[in-house]
Amino acid sequence: MTAHLKRWWPLALLLVLIAAPYSALPLPGLLDGPLGSPGSLQLIALCLLYGGLATGYDLLLGRTGLLSFGHALYFATGLYATDLAMLELDLDLLPAALFGTACSVALALALGAVSLRVTGIGFSMVTLAFAQAGAILVQRNPGGYTGGEEGRSAPAPHLPDALVGIQNTANLYWIALAYLVLTLAVVHWTTASPTGRVWAGIRENERRVEVLGLRPYGFKLLAFTVSGALAGAGGVVYLLLTGGATPQAASSDATLALLVMVVLGGSGTRWGPLLGGVLYTWAAHRLGDLANSAAVADLPAALRVPLSQPLFLLGTLFVAVVYLLPGGLAKLPARLRTGRTPTAAAPAAALPEGAA
């Protein structure tokens, strides 16, 4: 029976999520309004979107072992390219979304091909540099296209009526849910494929993959491109959810947020990144509300100041997870079950790199 439960709970959860907009269940503490209210749906939709984005990012970090500091670039590309396609090319939403995602794929393919020529921390820094270049470009508003600090709003006339207005939040919510399901499916399917097994091999030990006669480069580029495509599609969903493109989406903080989500939830696990993305997004919003609430304003400064800064709390939480909970929240049940298994006593100053 429990085996059945284990097997079917994702489907049950999905059904619950699909039905959520029809529910008026109040969840005090978790959400401000009842479950089906536009405000709640908007927040849950964002949580699901970031759950999906984090899952897609983990294709690089947890599945292939690539630490990219530039993932926000592909997210922002999907976001801005879709928006601009509607604004400047006069396309409708669907072709614009396809165009935006295609732009992300192309950019990920091109920059990935270049970035992956270096390995280790060099790769991280090249991706950071490219993403930073993108962030600067967006900020500087070249030709008036990106709108600089203000960003650009999505043009309502190009959007289907069903996606405009607060009364249609449920539709946006379902789109976010569909995006999450799509991402999970893609990640699950690719990692279970023969290619996914090569990715796992690269993560464990790239040299051994080479010994088997395979070229890791192509496999890594595939992971980078698939992950970039998922990020671009996430950008489209983000555009719909928030009604515009703003430069924060391209900032290095956006990538770091994804990194925090993945590590928080559990890198390389099936549900961890999703869990981390949902928790992080929910916490960032709720903590933001908390920061502005009267209850916090009355606290003594020593408590008020840290509590009023969501990024401080999340940064601290992140460090705590890295430090105390390697493997993230997803590994927590297993750790609790086995009791406090001592982490393998490593030779203190032994620095095993280059060991042969």
Partner 1 sequence: MSTVVLLACTGLGLGALYFLVASGLSLIFGLMDVLNFAHGALLSVGAYAAWWAATDGGTGFWLAVVFGTVVGTAASVLLELALIRPLYVRPRDQILATVGVGLALPALLMGVWGSDARPFPQPAALSGTVGLLGATVPVNRFVLMAAALAVLVALRLFLARTRYGLIVRAGVEDRAMVTALGIDVRRAFTLVFAIGGAAASLGGALAGLYFGSVNPSQGTGLLIFAFVVVVMGGMGSVTGAAVASVGVGLVQQFANYYTAAGLGDLSVVVLLAVLLLVKPRGLTGRLA
Partner 2 sequence: MSLLTVRDLRVVIDGLHILHGVELDVAATGVTALLGRNGAGKTTTVRAVMGLVPRTGTVTFDGADITGLPTHQVVRRGIGYAPEDRGVFAQLSVAENLRLAERDPDPAYDLVFELFPELKQRHRQAAGTLSGGQQQMVAIARTLLNGNRLVIADEPTKGLAPKIVTEVADVLARAAESVPVLLVEQNLALVRRIAGRCAVLADGRTAHQGDARALLADEDAARRLLGVGSHQPETTAPEGSSR
Residue numbers at the binding site for partner 2 (CB under 8 A): 204-205, 208, 344-350, 352, 355-356
Region of 7-15, 26-34, 48-56, 258-266 interacting with partner 1 (CB under 8 A): 258-266
* Rounded Cα distance, 287 and 41, in Å: 18
> Position 53: which residue type?
L
Using alpha carbons only, what angle is made at residue 336 by residues 332 and 341, rounded to the nearest 5 degrees?
105
Structure tokens at 273: 């990144």
Q: How far is the CB of 289 from partner 1 (least distance, A)?
A: 16
Q: Check: CB of residue 220 under 8 Å from CB of residue 196.
A: no
* Rounded Cα distance, 36 and 24, in Å: 5
Q: How many residues bind partner 1 (CB under 8 A)?
A: 52
Let me know if 15 is exposed, middle or buried by CB neighbors in 10 A (0-12, 13-18, 19+). Answer: exposed
| Residue of 182, 283, 309, 331 that binds partner 1 (CB under 8 A) | 309
Q: Which does 157 bind (CB under 5 to 8 A by kind): partner 1, partner 2, none?
A: none
CB closer to partner 2, 64 vs 132:
64
* Rounded Cα distance, 277 and 262, in Å: 7
Helix-helix angle 38-61:71-87, to 10 degrees: 130
140 touches partner 1 by CB under 8 A? yes
Q: Which does 204 bind (CB under 5 to 8 A by kind): partner 1, partner 2, none?
A: partner 2
Here's the x/- map for partner 1, 259-298, by CB under 8 A: it reads as xx--x-----------------------------------
Here's the x/- map for partner 1, 51-80, by CB under 8 A: it reads as ----------------x-------------
* Rounded Cα distance, 280 and 39, in Å: 18
Quick one: CA torsion of 344, 346, 351, 354, rounded to 10 degrees? -50
CB closer to partner 2, 208 vs 335:
208
Interface residue list for partner 1 (CB under 8 A):
67, 114-115, 117-122, 124-126, 128-130, 132-133, 136-137, 139-140, 142, 252-253, 256, 259-260, 263, 305-306, 308-312, 314-316, 318-319, 322-323, 326, 346-354
